[in-house]
Amino acid sequence: MITLRKIKNLERRTQLRRLGGVFHLVSKGEECPSLDSYFAYFLSLLPEDRKREAEYAYSKGRLDDIYYLSIDLLGEAVADWDLKYSLNDEGRKGTKFPISLYLDGIRSPYNVGSIFRSAECFGVERIYLRPGSADPFHERAVRTSMGTIDDVSHSYAELDEVKEGNVFALELGGEDISSFKFPKSGICIVGSEEDGVSKEGREMAERSLGIVSIPLYGKKGSLNVSQSVSILLYMWSSALVGM
């Protein structure tokens, strides 16, 4: 791991990149006894309007959030997708169901925007985002959402701040989605493609309705998270219409 002394001799952009890399390595298990010193120097490089975000992530031990913050400051979006037009609602009123999503640390603006688009199409009432998730108003998220960001109520919240009676999670190793009994109301926790649903999210789901999974038959064995959410919401909304 690069020493802080060496980092201080680099130009600012390289400093941000190297410091972000340090937090990423530590988040994956590498030891760094002087991490507080690295963070203090990283904080000194930030504009004032981003310092609170970094301090919050560090206080929660979310070191990868700091890594992704460094990427954002360097102007390197986590994902790129450039739809440049909006949906035409053609005067449709639309339907809302008493169902919600919790985005448990989804980093990609593309995925967040795509999830908003699917959520609006399938009548989701609210989306909660864990602090550190991609900003729905990031340029990439706005474009990918096709104009639906303002149509779905949303807010940032920690899991323990979300008060929902029925909770389940979309994750590998759970009950087949085709046999799952969807609730009339509730919330589904969705994790990032890299880390999946957090430990806290899994525990919350397991205390309630459990884990649901989409069976996959190909060699790869994984779907993009926004695609998975679309499948989930189609089946959930279809079940509600049939109730």
**DSSP per residue over 29-63, as a string?**
T---TTHHHHHHHHHHTS-HHHHHHHHHHHHTT-H
Q: Confidence band (pLDDT; 50, 70, 90) for 77?
A: low
Query: Is 92 contained in some domain?
Result: no
Which pLDDT band, with edges at 50, 70 and 90, does 88 fall under? low
Global confidence as pTM: 0.75
Do 121 and 221 share a domain, yes or no?
Answer: yes
Does any domain span residue 91? no
> Is residue 209 pLDDT above 60, yes or no?
yes
What's the total number of domains in the chain?
2
Separation in Å, CA 214 to CA 163, 172, 174? 26, 8, 8
Decide which of 234 and 82 is more confident.
234
Instruction: Tell me: do 104 and 219 sit in the same domain.
Output: yes
Distance CA 168, CA 154 (A): 19
pLDDT score of 1: 78
**44-67 residue pLDDT tens:** 999 999 999 999 999 999 999 999
Regarding whether 222 and 136 lie in a shared domain, the answer is yes
Please give the share of the chain, as a percent, with pLDDT higher than 70: 93
**CA end-to-end span of the chain:** 57
Residue whose token pair is 């807010």: 155
Closest of 12, 23, 8 to residue 67, by C-alpha: 23
Domain that holds residue 198: 97-241
